[in-house]
Amino acid sequence: MNLKYSVFLGNVGHCFDRYCPEYSTPFSLEELFTRAVSIPQLSAVDLVMDWGMMEKREEIKAHLARTGLAVGSLAVDTFANPLYKKGSLSSTDKAVRDRALADCKAVMDFAAEIDCKIVTLWPGQDGYDYIFAADYIKERQLFADGVAELCRYNPNIIITLEYKIKEPRTHSYISTVGATLLMIEKINLPNLGIALDYGHAALGYETAAEAVAMCKMYGDRLKHIHINDNYRLWDDDMIVGTVHSLEYLEFFYWLKRTGYEGYLVIDQFPYREDGRDAVAESAEWLDALIALTEKIDANEAEAVIAKRDGVAASKFMRKILFKG
């Protein structure tokens, strides 16, 4: 497998949550890049482009040149700005939609400037909280129209939609792999795909390997992957492989079977751990899980799958884990 590792730059720094505003001392942008490049497996960073980061574009370019890191994706901040509290591209307020489009296009322009091929949209505020509080057809159509406009704005940039079942809204429009593929089919433009977050798939009670297969089956739409782990009850953003080790083996098997060759982006919130060390540990888990996957005999795996038998599958899993 030709897989490359990236990390959301802030993940090697400090974290906060709704209870504690800082779990450790903040780091400067220079320090974050230095911490990221100290992890040997990383060849890139992913950046969340809020307006604070947009004002630091020249500094970002300097740090990219200094460290030699590439940019896997730029993510547009359409979720933390209170302007988008009732939706960004799906907002029924045209002024809000226009601002969201402008924000996205500005990030796309910067992506082209630094030779970044992917811009990711996580429409966290695009959804609803209460029944009788949303026009499900109108708002989905507005979202589709906005994404289509972005895809046409620069066909050389791939727009990826990152789905999540809930949070911060109780219900998200881009919620599951199936709902996202339907949206992509409706828009029907070639430079549109999915950013699959492993933790979001787990939270939505999906089997991540099946999500990979569906992306391949319905247009080869898997373009970017965020990697982390959780207990399925919440988007815990934990160290890769620490909970779903076995499921990760099937996940990587299907990435290999479907020919995915993009980035694996470490996306976690190490609240009480050192961010740099937690990301480095995820990279070690990725190395180990991928190495195990590479040892799987494809013919044997397909024979076991064809049996559709739980005992045979269990024996096969034990063989992968303990016999190599």
Would you give the DSSP letter of residue 12?
G
Kindly write down the DSSP assignment for every residue of 62-91, as one continuous string.
HHHHHH--EEEEEEE--SSSGGGTT-STT-
Sign of CA dihedral 268, 270, 275, 277: negative
Domain boundaries, the chain: 4-297
Q: Are 195 and 73 in contact (CB under 8 A)?
A: yes
- Residue 19 is predicted with a pLDDT of 87
- Name the 3-class secondary structure at 224: strand
The whole-angstrom separation of Cα 36 and Cα 252 is 24
Residue with tokens 């219900």: 171
Rounded to the nearest 10 degrees, the angle between the axes of helix 208-217 and helix 245-258 is 10
At 324 the pLDDT is: 58
Question: Which stretches of 77-206 are assigned E, i.e. beta strand?
Answer: 118-121, 127-128, 158-162, 171-172, 192-197
Vertex 304, ends 299 and 306: CA angle to 5°? 95
Q: Given this model, what pLDDT does residue 219 score? A: 97
For residue 37, the model assigns a pLDDT of 98
Q: Which amino acid is at 56?
A: K
- Rounded Cα–Cα distance for residues 161 and 126 (Å): 12
Would you state the pLDDT for residue 130?
Answer: 98
Please write down the long-range contacts of 276-281, taking CB distance under 8 Å and 24 or more positions apart: 276/12, 276/35, 276/36, 276/38, 276/39, 278/11, 278/239, 279/7, 279/11, 279/12, 279/36, 279/39, 279/42, 280/39, 280/41, 281/239
CATH architecture of the domain formed by 4-297: Alpha-Beta Barrel (3.20)
Mean pLDDT split into 10-residue runs, the chain, 324 residues: 95 88 90 98 98 97 98 97 97 98 98 98 98 98 98 98 98 98 98 98 98 98 98 97 96 98 96 96 98 96 98 96 80
pLDDT at 23: 85
- How far apart CA 11 and CA 14 sit, in angstroms, is 7
Say how many residues make up the chain: 324
Tens digits of residue pLDDT in 235-262? 999 999 999 999 999 999 999 999 999 9
| Omega of the bond leading into 26 within 30 degrees of 0 (cis) | no
DSSP letters along 107-122, please? Answer: HHHHHHHTT--EEEE-
Tokens at 121, concatenated: 């949209």
pTM beyond 0.75: the answer is yes
